[in-house]
Amino acid sequence: MRLNIFFREPKIRLAIVSLIATFLIFFIRLIVYLNTGSLAVLADTFHSITDLTANIVAITSLYVASKPVDREHLYGHEKAESIGTLGISILLIMIFVYILYESIHRVFSTEYMLEFTIWSSILIAITMIIDLWRARALSRGAILYGSTVLEADSIHYKSDLMATSSVLTLSIIGSLYTGFYMKYVDMIISIMIAGYIARSSLRLAKMSIDELMDKAPSDIIDLFRKTASKYNVNIKSVRARRSGSKIFLDAIVEMPSSISLRESHEIIDKIENEMRTQTKKYIDFIIHMEPKDETKDLIIKRIREITRTYKDVKKVHDIDVKTDEKGYHVRFHVEVDPKISVRDSEKIVEKLRHDLMKEFSKISSVMIHVEPLCIEERSVREIVREVLNKDPELKSMIKIYSIKILSAEDKVLVDLVCGISENMRIDEAHKLIGRLEGVLKEALGDRYIVTISLVSKGSMEKL
* Residue 440 within a domain: yes
Query: How confident is residue 258, by pLDDT bands cut at 50, 70 and 90?
Result: confident
The least confident of 102-106, 304-308, 313-317 is 102-106
Query: How confident is residue 1, by pLDDT bands cut at 50, 70 and 90?
Result: very low
Q: pLDDT digit string (tens) for 405-450? A: 776 666 778 888 888 888 888 888 888 888 888 888 888 877 788 8
Based on the fold, state whether residues 129 and 254 are members of the same structural domain. Answer: no
* Residue 241 within a domain: yes
Q: Work out the percent of the chain whose per-residue pLDDT is above 90.
A: 8
Based on the fold, state whether residues 201 and 318 are members of the same structural domain. Answer: no
Based on the fold, state whether residues 243 and 387 are members of the same structural domain. Answer: no
The last residue of one of the domains, among 307, 341, 372, is 372
Based on the fold, state whether residues 353 and 406 are members of the same structural domain. Answer: no
In sequence order, the 6+-apart residues with CB closer than 8 A to the CB of 68 are 76
Inform me whether the pLDDT recorded for 176 exceeds 80.
Answer: no
Q: Are 50 and 88 in contact (CB under 8 A)?
A: yes
Q: Are 47 and 163 in contact (CB under 8 A)?
A: yes
If one counts the domains in the chain, the total is 4
Rounded distance between C-alpha atoms, residue 13 and residue 312, angstroms: 80
pLDDT at 331: 92
* Residue 461 within a domain: no
Based on the fold, state whether residues 316 and 397 are members of the same structural domain. Answer: no
How far the first Cα of the chain sits from its last, in Å, is 90
Q: Are 217 and 141 in contact (CB under 8 A)?
A: no
Inform me whether the pLDDT recorded for 299 exceeds 50.
Answer: yes
Based on the fold, state whether residues 199 and 103 are members of the same structural domain. Answer: yes
Q: Are 240 and 223 in contact (CB under 8 A)?
A: no
CATH number at residue 402: 3.30.70.1350
Based on the fold, state whether residues 337 and 394 are members of the same structural domain. Answer: no
Based on the fold, state whether residues 181 and 243 are members of the same structural domain. Answer: no
The last residue of one of the domains, among 291, 316, 334, is 291
Based on the fold, state whether residues 83 and 171 are members of the same structural domain. Answer: yes
The last residue of one of the domains, among 212, 247, 278, is 212
CATH number at residue 179: 1.20.1510.10
Based on the fold, state whether residues 46 and 178 are members of the same structural domain. Answer: yes
Rounded distance between C-alpha atoms, residue 441 and residue 439, angstroms: 6
Please tell me the pTM assigned to this model: 0.48
The parent domain of residue 363 ranges over 295-372
* Residue 74 within a domain: yes
Instruction: Give the mean pLDDT of 35-59.
Output: 70
Residue-averaged pLDDT of the chain: 77
* Residue 463 within a domain: no
Tally the C-alpha atoms within 13 A of residue 380's C-alpha that lie toward its C-beta: 23
Beta bridge partners of 411: 408
